[in-house]
Structure 1
């Protein structure tokens, strides 16, 4: 007798569940705007921001997380000040010549050459001309760091590719190359 009740109950639940499904009229949609979203035109004006055209700007005087401000400006005067006054903050334990060499070979050697003579692959193939040798230049650690940070002439800035500590490691390696030329 119990099995007849169980079979009847199971049959009733099956009919109840299958009778609620209708392919012609789909069920209620949760979060319908995810299924049928509004299409927006790329780069079109939006009322999501105050002025309708661009995103909100950061507050005055704020600094991005992880950003280290550089007190010398991107100008000839800033270059000369950095050349005269800027010293490396790395102590003897923070200096890593192997890492400096590795970074130099990745970012600098294609133009400046592995020995710093200004005869890198791009210079040999005449893609860039006039890359100076470190031997011929009056450079200091401040001037090297300034040039890596802001760029100079046809050399672009490497501040986005290298952190401040990595730029100082490359600076130390450039001074080592200069002493060997």
Structure 2
């Protein structure tokens, strides 16, 4: 028997053994041998299972006090007017003003902010204008959002908190992006902390107009 025929015979024998071993005898509830059970039967404890390795017998443990998850950036200013004002005084942009950071801030602003604030910061984004859609329900008006104040210093526009839009500080802009305010929702899930700071940097460019 040559090598090719031998290997073929071995493969057939293995396959036949697997089929036979997996077949029941009509009386047993066994499903036969499990293939690689560790791939779908985890050895580790599930979070909601009792665990004798801990004093409280719980698998899911609270993290140690004063610790942060990997990649988490702490922002210890509450979502209050006092937190906003304090952040405005104390929080500074940790990123250097570079061409690359400004370019990325511009790109992020156009995606997440320009729909309301406008591509140039005039407060004339597409969501502030009359819009219609024509679909299976016919032609109908879409919701229009109130236009936010312009960032431009030349406009002299004030925010609803009383500060000139052109005078908003690093911390005030960052606080607003993180928590949202009025019709603007929080963008913390869309922009990570570094991205928020790049947007803050670009907004300062718009304030100069």
Decide: shared fold, TM above 0.5. yes
Over the aligned positions, Cα root-mean-square deviation in angstroms equals 3.5
Q: For structure 1, which runs of at least 5 residues remain unmatched after alignment?
A: 4-10, 38-45
The residue that corresponds to 1:42 in the other structure is: none
In 1, distance between residues paired with 2:16 and 2:72? 60
Say whether 1:146 aligns with 2:146.
no
The residue that corresponds to 2:62 in the other structure is: 58
Say whether 1:156 aligns with 2:156.
no
Residues 115 and 18 of structure 1: CA distance in aligned 2, closer, same or farther (over 3 Å):
closer
The residue that corresponds to 1:134 in the other structure is: 151
Residues 171 and 21 of structure 1: CA distance in aligned 2, closer, same or farther (over 3 Å):
closer
Find the structure with the greater CA-based Rg.
1
The residue that corresponds to 2:49 in the other structure is: 48
Report the count of equivalent residues. 154
Q: For structure 2, which runs of at least 5 residues remain unmatched after alignment?
A: 2-8, 42-46, 52-58, 131-142, 159-163
Offset at 1:21? 3.7
In 2, distance between residues paired with 1:24 and 1:119? 72
SS in 2 for 1:175: helix
1:86 to 86, 91, 107: 91
Offset at 1:174? 0.8
Which 4+ runs in 1 deviate beyond 6 A? 17-20
Residues 56 and 174 of structure 1: CA distance in aligned 2, closer, same or farther (over 3 Å):
same
Which structure shows the bigger proportion of residues in helix conformation?
1
The residue that corresponds to 2:32 in the other structure is: 28
Task: Tell me the TM-score normalized by structure 2.
Answer: 0.61
Task: Tell me the TM-score normalized by structure 1.
Answer: 0.69
Which region of structure 1 is more displaced relative to structure 2, 119-128 or 65-74? Answer: 119-128
